[in-house]
Chain A
Amino acid sequence: MLSRTAENLFWSARYIERADSLARLLEVGYRISLIPNTERGYTNEWESILETSGIKDEYLKKYKKISKEKIIFYLLFDPENSSSVKNCIKTARENIRMVRTAVTLEVWNAVNSSYHELDKNMKDTKSILKELPEIIEWIKRQVNLIRGTILNTQLINDGYDFLILGTYFERADFTARIINVKYFILLPSINYVGSDIDNFQWSLMLRSISSFRAFKWAYGGQEITYTKIIDFLILNMTCPRSLIFSIEKINHHLGRLSKFYKQTSTSNKKIGLMYKNIKNLNANKITEIGLHEFLKSFIEEINFVYKKFEQKYFFGLET
C-alpha cells in the first residue's frame, strides 16, 4: 500500500487512543474534585493533569491562570489546543478521510459520526463542569465503538497492523509518561514515596487508566504499594495498559509486517530486544535502576523504534 495510506491509518488510530487517554485523565481530575477535603492533594490536580499531557505552557500562554473550567474546556474542546479531545477526533477523522477506501464503511461511519456528535455535544454543552461525567462517558464509549468496529470489520491485513500499531505506540508512550509525571511532579518530595499521599495518588492513577479494579483482582485485593504498582503498570502482561503489553503488541505487529513484506527493519530488531529485556525485569530491578531512569530510557527506546519504523514504512528512507 501507499506509505501515505499506512501513515494515515496509523495516525488515525493513534489520535483515537490519545482522545481516550485524555478522557481518562479528565476523569481523574473530576474524581478529585468530588472529594471534599483536598488537603491530600498538594498540587492542584488539574494543573498536574496539564503537566501530564505536556501542554501546561501552551495553556498558560492562552489563559494566564489555572482555572478548573478553563482547563476542562482546553482539554476537551479548545480548537486552539492541537491535542484537545475534539482536535484528536477531528485529526483522526481527517486521516481516515484521506484513505477512505482503506477502511470499512463501518469504521468510517463510527469515526465520522463521533466527530459530528462531539461537535454537537460541544455546542449543546451549557455547564462543562456539570456535564463532564457524561461527556467523558460518551468519549470512552465512542472510542470503544471505533476500536470494536476496527477489530470486527477490518480485514486482518497490513492496514490492520498499522492501525493497531498506532494504538500501542500511543499507549506505551502515555503510560510511561503518566507514571513518570506521577513520580516526579505529583509527589512534593521523594520522602513521600510509600506514604498515604503516594498511595492515594497511585490509586487515582490506576483509575485514570481504568485499571483500579483490574489491579485489585490481579493482586487479590491487597493494599496498593509502590512495588506492586510498578509490577502492574510495567510488567504485568494481563494489564492491557501496562508497558509490557504494549511492547508485546508492537513487537507482534511489526513482526507481522516484516513477514508480510518479507523485509526486516531496524525497528524489528530493536522492539524484539525491548520485549526480551522487559520480560526479564522485575519490580526490584526497576527500583534498583531507578524508576525515573528506567522510564526515561524506555521512552527514548520506544521513540527510536518509532523513528526507524516511520523511516521505513512512511518515508521510504531507511537504508
Chain B
Amino acid sequence: MYNEVYKNSKVRKFYNQIYDWAKSLPENVIVKKKNEAENLFKKIGITFSVYNNFDSSERLIPFDMFPRIISSIEWKRIKKGVIQRALAINAFLNDIYNSGEIIKAKLIPENLIYKNPAYEIKMIGFKVPKRIYSPIIGSDIVRINENIFKVLEDNCRTPSGVSYMIENREIMMRMFPELFEKLKIETVENYPSYLLDVLKSLAPKKCNKEPKVVILTPGSFNSAYYEHSFLADLMGVELVQGTDLFVNDSITYMKTTRGPEKVDIIYRRIDDKFIDPITFDSSSLIGIPGLFDSYKSGNVNICSAPGSGIADDKAIYSYIPDIIKFYLGEEPILENVKTWRCYEDDAKKYVINNLNKLVVKEVHGSGGYGLLIGSRSSKKEIEIFRKKILLNPENYIAQPILELSSVPIFDKKKLSPRHVDLRPFCLVGANKTKLVDGGLTRVALNKGSLVVNSSQGGGVKDTWILNE
C-alpha cells in the first residue's frame, strides 16, 4: 500500500510541516477542532443545507481535517493530462455525432457506439455551439505509487462534488489560518467564476448580447440540490426548475415577475431523458416542453449536450488513450487502468478464469451498480457474474483490483492511513480550458476499504496543491 506521506519511510518534504503540525496537536485539541469544523459547516451550510431533505443542518459527507497534498510538479502533469482528456473527449463527441471518422478508421467498433443507448440519435448531425459537448468533466484519478497517477473514469454529464471542494477549503482556512500563512497553497475559490466564464463562451448561434446563464435543477428533493443552489449563489445566476422555463416561438424564457426573460445557456443538472417531454421521456414532469427544438434551432444552449454520456460509458473508457492519439496526435499524459473488454475473446477467457482477482463492471451502469469485486465476493456471487459475462460479454469490462494510495485521517484522536482518490473539475469553453488548482479528494473512512463513494462510507478532504 502506498502512503502518500512517506518516501522510503521518511516523511516527504511536502508533508513535513503538515505532518509535524498534525502530530503536535494534543488529543483534546483534535476533538475540539473536529467539533469546531462540524459547527462551521453548520454555520456556513445553514443557508444551503436547509435545502436538502435531511432536517437540521447535517452535512451529507463527513469531513476529515488532514489535508491531502499534491506537489506542484505532480499537479502540473495531472492538470495537463486532465485537460488533454477533456479536449479529446469533446473532439470525440463532435466526431461521433457528425462524420464518425474514428469509426471509419476502425479504431472503435461501430457496435460500441451505434448500439449504445447512451448514443443519442436525436443529436446526430447537429452542430452544438462551439463544438463543445461536455464543458465540465470530472475525471476520477487514483494514485498507484509515487510516480503513477491513473484515470479510473471520466464523468462527462453532470459531475458533482465541486461544492465540497470549495467548502472544504473555506473550513480549513477558517480553522487553521496559520497553515495558510506558512504554506503556499493554490486557491480554488475561482471555480464559480471560471465556470460562468466558460459557460458564457458557449452562447448559442442566435444570441447576440451578453448571454444569460441559468442552472437547471430537478428540484429540492434531489440529493445534489445543495450543490446546485451553492453554485447558483456563487455564480450569481438563477437556479431554475423546469416549471420556471417555457418555450415560445422557439425561444426559451424564464418566468420572472418582470415578465418573460430570454435564457441563452442552461447548465442543466437533470438527466437527458427528462429535458423535454416532447422529444424524450413524455412522462417527465421536470422537463421543459419544446426545449429540445429551441436548442436545435440555435436559440439556447444546453450544457452538457444531450448524448454526452456516451463518452463516459465504461465501454468507451478503455478507448480513451486511442481517442487522445486520434484527435490530438499526442501520447496520453495520464494512464488508463488496464481494462479487459469481455467482448474480445482473449480478454473474456482471461476474465472468466481470473474473476477473483478482478473488478468487473457493467458497461452502461453507473456508480456501484452491476459491480463485482472479485476478492471480496463469495463463490456464489462470482459464479453469477461468470454466467452473466458468458451470456452478454459485450456488457462487461474488467479491471485489476487497484491498490489506491492512502493519506492519514484523524481517526478518533490519532492519525491512521485511509485510501483516497482525486476528482479535479476540468472546464472546457470556446477556445479555452480552465482548471482550478485543486480538486475533491474522497477518502474511504473505513479501515482497509477501497470504496470512496459517499453513499458507502466515504468522506472528503481538502486538497492542497503546494507551490514551492
Contact = CB atoms under 8 A, between A and B. Distances in A.
Interface of A: 1-6, 97-98, 100-101, 105, 108, 112, 158, 162, 257, 261, 263, 313-316
Contacts of B36: none
A108 B46 CA distance: 10
A261 B254 contact: no
Nearest to B51: A100
A4 B51 contact: no
A71 B256 CA distance: 41
A316 B246 contact: yes
A4 B50 CA distance: 18
A48 to B, nearest CB: 38
Nearest to A98: B220
A108 B259 contact: no
A6 B258 CA distance: 11
Contact of A261 (B47, B51, B258): B258
Contact of B255 (A97, A98, A315): A315
Interface in B256-283: 256-260
A165 to B, nearest CB: 12
Contacts of A4: 240-241, 243-244, 255
B54 to A, nearest CB: 12
Most buried by A among B238, B244, B246, B255: B255
Given A263-B258, A313-B257, A316-B255, A3 B244 contact: yes
B46 A105 contact: yes
Contacts of A6: 257
Contacts, number: 53
B432 to A, nearest CB: 30
Contacts of B255: 2-4, 314-316
Interface string B232-243: 010000101101
Q: Is the interface on chain B under 10, 10 to 19, 20 to 34, or 35 or more residues? A: 20 to 34
Contacts of A158: 257
Contacts of A1: 256-257
Contacts of A5: 257
From DSSP, what is the main secondary structure of chain A's interface residues?
helix
Nearest to A109: B46
Given A2-B240, A2-B244, A4-B244, A101 B47 contact: yes
Contacts of B259: 261, 263, 316
A4 B244 CA distance: 7
A112 B50 contact: yes
Interface string B210-223: 00000000001000
Contacts of B244: 2-4
B51 A97 contact: yes
B51 A2 contact: no
A80 B51 CA distance: 25
A313 B259 CA distance: 7
Contact of B233 (A3, A97, A98, A101): A101
A87 B447 CA distance: 45
Contact of B257 (A3, A101, A108): A3
7 contacts: A1-B257, A2-B256, A4-B243, A100-B47, A101-B47, A112-B50, A314-B255
Nearest to B238: A2
Given A2-B238, A4-B241, A4-B243, 5 more contacts: A4-B255, A100-B50, A158-B257, A313-B257, A316-B256
A101 B47 CA distance: 7
Contacts of B256: 1-3, 316
Nearest to B55: A116
Contacts of B238: 2
Most buried by B among A100, A162, A315: A100
Most buried by B among A6, A98, A112, A316: A316
